[in-house]
A and B are shown apart, each in its own frame.
Chain A
Amino acid sequence: MARFQYLKGNSFFHRMDPTWKFVWNFVVVGTVILNFDLLYTALWFVYAFLLAVFLAQIPIRQYLRSILLFVGIALFIALWKSVYYAEEAQVLFAWGPINVTQEGILEGFASFFRVLVIVSLSVIFTLTTDPGRMVESLIQVAKVPYRIGYTAYAALRFIPIYENEAQVITNAHQIRGVGETGKSLRSKARLYRSLLVPLLVSGIRRAQAASIAMDSRGFGAYAKRTIIHEVKVSRSTMVFVLVHIAIGAVAFYYYIILGHGIQFLG
């Protein structure tokens, strides 16, 4: 869990308005996937890494820990593509039924960096965004109705409680001898299945209690509610995001309209 939890801080990305940050994330991902070129995606990855370390001030160790799992997956994709390539391709060397192709390697590692760019951006977003501020921003900047925004907020508050409860239930079931062999998939499945019912029952009960408590304090009385913390979007945030939108537009024109980019083959 700690891999993807908000880290307190005061970097450029921490101060950025969450809604704008989300748009930025979306735009950059969109730009990266316009061209399936190894160098292009690799450069974007280096850029994302630098942003994470310098503008988001994520400690390198934390950053590596967060992306580690995905490095494995990305590497798997890369190797898979190097070996199995659907189209006609130049075979570099063959070993039994396995043909390692040049196109396969290029495209495989382009995918590798593509996955890592997307993961890096998500890591920047989740590690620098205070969930509370995100909800405020969604309501005030993105104009999401507060009833919906607040439901998300309440859910956030309940996450640690449910985690804790799931742990207690797992313990209680271990005492009873459920899933005690531990290793086999069947006993694991059994453990999770028996976890679900009590967790749902208490979840529903708590949700009902929470909604009654919220209603009794006037939740949903009017279409709007008093804004206590006004969300302000700084000029630097706007400039930063707009520059990326411009880069995205240029890339779109060059690679898609003019057709210079390498498209996904297979």
Chain B
Amino acid sequence: MTEPIVKVSGLTYYYQGEEEPALRDVNLGVYPGEFVLMIGPSGCGKSTLALCLNGIIPTVLGGRIKGRVYIDGVDTRESTVYELGTKIGIVFQDPDAQLCNLYVGEEVAFGPANLMMDKEVVLERVERALEDVGENEIKHKLIYEISGGQKQRVAIASILAMDPKIIVFDEPTANLDPLGAVQVFDLMKRINQEKGITIVVIEHNVDSVMCHADRLILMEKAIIRYSGPPRELMREKGRFILDDLGLRIPQVCELGLMMEERGVCFRPFPLTINEAVEAISLQRERLEFLPEQSTALQREKPQPVIQTDGLNFVYPDGTHAVKDASLEINKGDVVSIVGKNGSGKTTLVSLFVGLNKPTSGKGMVCGLDLATATIRELTGKVGYVFQYPEHQFVEDTVYKEVAFSLKAQKRPPEEVDARVNQVLELLGLEQMKDKHPFRLSMGQKRRLSVATMLILNTDILILDEPTTGQDRKNIDNIMEIMMETNRTGTTIILITHDMNLVAKYSNKIMIMDEGEVVFYGSKSDFFHNFSTIRSSTLVLPEIYKLAQVLREKRICQIPEVSTVEDFVSAVEVK
């Protein structure tokens, strides 16, 4: 057996000024060429462990540390960060924060140049690293001109240029659209296989990376809870990961677990769509698929709340962000707006709340004309929850934050107090009343930002990327509250990249591409017509693809399903 290339023994770490350890007696060995996936709830210590591996902890960040970390035989405490930089590199979540140069070429040259390598060597490494990530042609571009996915690939190239043996990825896809994420995962696998580089990935969004991993590590509350082959861990601990930790697992794994609970054991336990297809065909005789049920709910006559006709918006710099949008959103709809970053989604909804005035075209929101209505009038009808909760906070306690808008409306104090308490309770924030909004956890901040809009009882609620930086438990929690308000007649507009979320909650789907609405219709229409929709970024939910393959291969006649629950309820076990 070879020696581990990463060896962590008895590692305990306290951040400066913290009473609770961020890591508690962590032991870990990663072998050369391994692909390790690390998951765990927010704040469990995953990112801290990553920073320990390349020596940033404790060399740069300080704090109290016990135990040892060896990278390729070198003790991180007896080495320097830059020496370790040639052995281990980290790719971080925010592509904007980790790139510090103006041009792509310089960025990739940054590391080798810091290490005083000869100019020729540096240039050759830049060339090679960009080649490896397939971004050679953007070498002379400015970093702020390129897309998020490209930035992340440039970040990877800039690490590759250091020629490391290990690369750690700390939530590398959190800011990317679905296709960008899949591309980054594929690139990781390629680097791992072709160059033999050891990979450690920390991720929430595991659907397309689980199948690449040789080993899965589960962290919880500053310790490594489980470590083992993904297949076994998913089968044995999947329920625990899903229900108790509130994390995501791939949809096919979820399906495997649910079928197992109904007495059908898939063997081998599937991690990919192909494996699931195989497992299902082996169990074919025991499964019966119910014909498609007509789920068309008899709704009352649609009442449009948003109507637009040829709506256009052009930014002062000439960017034509919304092109000729004509659409109708009805009362009680849950509309998902999907499209790659920069396709005009956020600009379109900014017109609905009056942040921008349409350049041309007509639009009515709850009887208000978009061309003339003020922000104040529109926000009386439309609540808008921004992508990053911090952006919306204006007060210094949670209570005041929620009360802010009601007070601005000069409502009587008793009424304000009653409403605020009611909303805080609904969102489970009543204990946090006097805390500063910025001191809440990620999940709590998200809930607070929803609370500040919920209290206004608006007819329409817009959520911009509600899943950013959230684990599944938080997302489910928020979405349940949204669905609750939807049942009382509130129209919900979701801007999201998360196709699983789209499939689970929305009844209408809108696809935007380069400012144009290229598709708008019901969920079933969307999945029917998927192949004809012009958009370069869509990635279908795994479970939908699975059903599609099963139908195409004529293994079974399963109706179109877009959630795991739908799949399971369409199956009868004999």
Contacts and interface: CB of A to CB of B under 8 A. Distances in A.
A223 B84 CA distance: 18
A217 B333 CA distance: 49
Interface stretch (A45-53, A58-66, A102-110, A175-183): A175-183
Given A210-B97, A215-B60, A216-B89, A175 B355 contact: yes
Contacts of A225: 113-114, 116
12 contacts: A132-B102, A177-B408, A198-B391, A212-B51, A214-B100, A217-B162, A218-B81, A219-B82, A222-B115, A225-B113, A228-B106, A228-B109
A209 B92 contact: yes
B122 A226 contact: yes
Contact of A156 (B102, B106, B353, B393): B102
B111 A217 contact: yes
B144 A215 contact: no
A168 interface: yes
A154 B162 contact: no
B56 A197 contact: no
A201 interface: yes
Contacts of B80: 221
A161 interface: yes
A266 interface: no
Query: Which of A154, A158, A213: most chain B CB closer than 10 A?
Result: A213
A172 B404 CA distance: 14
Contact of A201 (B82, B384, B392, B438): B438
A136 B386 CA distance: 39
A209 B106 CA distance: 19
A226 B375 contact: no
Contacts of B84: 216
B438 A197 contact: yes
A202 B56 contact: no
B101 A153 contact: yes
Interface of A: 131-132, 150, 153-154, 156-158, 160-161, 165, 168-169, 171-178, 180, 194, 197-198, 201-202, 206, 209-222, 224-228
B384 A217 contact: no
Interface string B98-121: 111111001001111111111100
Given A175-B355, A214-B100, A217-B158, A201 B386 contact: no
Interface string B79-99: 011101110011010101111
B54 interface: yes
B110 A217 contact: yes
Given A194-B394, A218-B85, A157 B102 contact: yes
A222 B100 contact: no
Given A217-B85, A221-B82, A221-B114, A157 B101 contact: yes
B143 to A, nearest CB: 7
Contacts of A194: 394
Given A180-B375, A213-B92, A173 B114 contact: no
A157 B100 contact: yes
B118 A226 contact: yes
Given A212-B92, A218-B114, A228-B122, 11 more contacts: A158-B96, A168-B391, A176-B394, A177-B405, A209-B94, A212-B60, A216-B56, A222-B114, A226-B109, A226-B114, A228-B113
Contact of A216 (B54, B96, B144, B391): B54
Given A131-B102, A176-B392, A227-B119, A160 B144 contact: yes
B96 A228 contact: no
Q: How large is the interface on B (under 10, 10 to 19, 20 to 34, 35 or more residues)?
A: 35 or more
A157 B391 contact: no
Nearest to A212: B56
In the A-B complex, list the 8 residue pairs whose CB atoms are closest, starting with the nearest: A218-B82, A213-B98, A221-B82, A217-B111, A209-B97, A218-B114, A226-B113, A172-B391
B376 A217 contact: no
Contacts of B364: none
A165 B404 CA distance: 23
A132 B116 contact: no
A161 B118 CA distance: 33
Given A180-B376, A225-B114, A210 B100 contact: yes
Contacts of B106: 132, 228
A194 B404 CA distance: 13
Nearest to B376: A180
Contact of A218 (B162, B388, B390, B404): B162
B80 to A, nearest CB: 7
A126 to B, nearest CB: 16
Contacts of B101: 153, 157
B350 A171 contact: yes
Contact of B404 (A132, A174, A176, A206): A176
B265 interface: no
Interface string B335-358: 000000000000000100101000
Contacts of B117: 226
Contact of B98 (A168, A201, A209, A227): A209
B102 A175 contact: no
A213 B96 CA distance: 11
A168 B379 CA distance: 16
A176 B60 contact: no
A193 to B, nearest CB: 9
Contacts of A219: 82, 110, 114
Interface string B114-141: 1111110011000000000000000000
Contacts of B390: 198, 201-202
Contacts of A157: 99-102, 143-144
A195 to B, nearest CB: 9
B163 to A, nearest CB: 12
A227 B82 CA distance: 18
Contacts of A173: 392, 394
Given A160-B144, A198-B390, A228-B106, A177 B98 contact: no
Contacts of B353: 175
A213 B170 CA distance: 12
B173 to A, nearest CB: 16
Contacts of B86: 218
B452 interface: yes
Contact of A161 (B96, B110, B405): B96
A153 B212 CA distance: 38
Contact of B123 (A150, A165, A228): A228
B375 A175 contact: yes
- A132, A209, A218 interface centre (most CB from chain B within 10 Å): A218
A100 to B, nearest CB: 43
Contacts of A228: 106, 109, 113, 119, 122-123
